[in-house]
Amino acid sequence: MADNQLQVLNALDVAKTQWYHFTAIVIAGMGFFTDAYDLFCISLVTKLLGRIYYHEEGSSKPGSLPPNVAAATNGVAFCGTLAGQLFFGWLGDKLGRKKVYGMTLMIMVVCSIASGLSFGDKPKSVMATLCFFRFWLGFGIGGDYPLSATIMSEYANKKTRGAFISAVFAMQGFGIMAGGIFAIIVSTVFEAKFPAPAYADDALGSTVPQADFVWRIILMFGAIPASMTYYSRSKMPETARYTALVAKDSKQAAKDMSRVLQVEIEPEQILEEISTDKSKSFSLFSKEFMKRHGLHLLGTTSTWFLLDIAFYSQNLFQKDIFSAIGWIPPAQTMNAVQEVFKIARAQTLIALCSTVPGYWFTVVFIDVIGRFAIQLMGFFFMTVFMFALAIPYNHWTHKDNRIGFVIMYSLTFFFANFGPNATTFVVPAEIFPARFRSTCHGISAASGKLGAMVGAFGFLYLAQSPDKNKADAGYPPGIGVRNSLLVLGVINFLGILFTFLVPESKGKSLEEMSGENEKSEQNNNDSRAVQMV
């Protein structure tokens, strides 16, 4: 496999940035745009679902989803995503990246549309339908993580590979923002067409029957960007690294990359002694794998797990911040559609001011200062800001100090994205052998989604007031927000420590990182020695 594969792979490593690089970023990035839209748009409509289906006659507050229903509605897509990351990650290494890439997109298109439908109009049937299809939507989204990262890493040159992979991931920020903007448009149109009084003035009339269409339209819209890139995905050639290193067809790899790179790459015969190299035939989780890559896998899974606990738990105090600065007034002062508008506006502003800039700072600097430095810096500042919020927590609760609280909150998001939220996605696509690359990325990503569930739902219960009379309806007493923030600070500090298990991959080829070219280099050296003799 040495000479001609190295020629193909070297051509990719040293290729100048070309149009096909940007095409690959757009094709893979639109998948992540859709992923983020689909995963985060549910938070825009959960309040509306509560008003429509769980209204209580005579209550002073609008209806809200019961804790178990809210947890299922918000969390079922995470469960599907975790399953999809493991399954499609494994399948991507077995069947090839391209064959599996279209499957995930079709699942996303079908389930986005189906999420806006329901069997019947009773709360139980509507929520059961929604949760069923959002699980399978998450399943498709999960496949996009390892496949997009692996495809982009295997297409990119080694000089700008980090920027290309993180640019794909950065499309998440635009997806979150697009969800908010679309929800603003839909709610504005419905409010203009079907005006309604505030809940305090007319509890029943504040939720017009047409409001039921709002959440359905917002959820179903996710099918459009996904379907737009299906044709382009089907036309992408298989990556040369999979074709050459896994499928063992270097002639096809040379042919595909000659077309993509628009340069002539001579196909040569695979050397038999390297094709049958026993040192490279170890299986996943074998003793040899654990010796070579065990600590690397521990590093990528643990840091992604810890990061997502902190990242997804930040909505604990989001509602307090939005209320404090007047972005979201008390629920009873608005009608149902107005509340969707206010929530969407708040989330769009947060995405615009901190989430999107953080992602693109990573794109700009990842190949300059490296993955390790960015991840370490991100975890460090997240630790600092968590403790800065937690230790003087009572200080931040005073009305005069709320602006400082908002700034701190925004900075934690910024350094999550200009930090481990991006690098934990990039690194697993670079440091493992080609035949395990998609699987190991899927395992790392699934570990992150497990952390997301702990962060989003474990801390939702944990952050409840220790006084059961002050806890939210339906929730048991917890340890309070301040103590929860202290725990999150410790979690971020652990992220700093586990980052030291992850190697720096800046400026190195994928084969150099995974050790796949060791035998090739040895054979080249041996052949040169023979020639000299």
Q: Enumerate the H helices of 41-66 as residue ranges.
A: 42-53
CA gap 375, 431 in Å, rounded: 16
pLDDT at residue 464, as a whole number: 79
Radius of gyration in angstroms for the set of CA atoms belonging to the chain, rounded to a whole number = 25
pLDDT of residue 182: 96
pTM for this predicted structure: 0.89
Q: Report the alpha-carbon distance of residue 248 to residue 269 in Å, rounded.
A: 11
Residues 236-247 have pLDDT tens digits of 888 888 888 888
- How buried is residue 359: exposed, middle or buried, by Cβ count under 10 Å (0-12/13-18/19+)? buried
pLDDT of residue 320: 59
d(CA 481, CA 472): 13
**CB burial readout 158-194, b (16+ within 10 A) else e:** bebbbbbbbbbbbbbbbbbbbbbbbbbebbeebbeee
Q: What is the pLDDT of residue 371?
A: 95
3-class DSSP assignment, residue 478: coil
pLDDT in tens, 316-335: 566 656 666 667 888 899 99
pLDDT for 518 equals: 53
- CA 515 – CA 292 distance, rounded (Å): 9
How many angstroms separate the CA atoms of 96 and 37, rounded?
A: 27
Q: How many CB atoms lie within 10 A of CB 490?
A: 13
What is the pLDDT, as a whole number, of residue 313?
Answer: 82
| Token output for 385 | 């800001």
pLDDT tens, N- to C-terminus, the chain (533 residues): 444 445 777 777 887 777 878 888 888 888 889 999 998 899 899 999 999 999 888 888 898 888 888 888 888 999 999 999 999 999 999 999 988 988 999 999 999 999 999 887 889 999 999 999 999 999 999 999 999 999 999 888 888 999 999 999 999 989 999 999 999 999 999 999 999 999 999 989 999 999 999 999 999 999 998 898 888 888 888 888 888 888 888 788 888 777 776 666 665 544 443 344 545 578 888 899 999 999 999 999 999 999 999 888 876 566 656 666 667 888 899 999 999 999 999 889 888 887 889 899 999 999 999 999 999 999 999 999 989 988 888 887 777 777 787 788 788 888 999 999 999 999 999 999 999 999 999 999 999 999 999 888 887 778 777 887 777 766 788 888 788 889 999 999 999 999 999 999 998 888 888 877 654 444 444 433 333 33
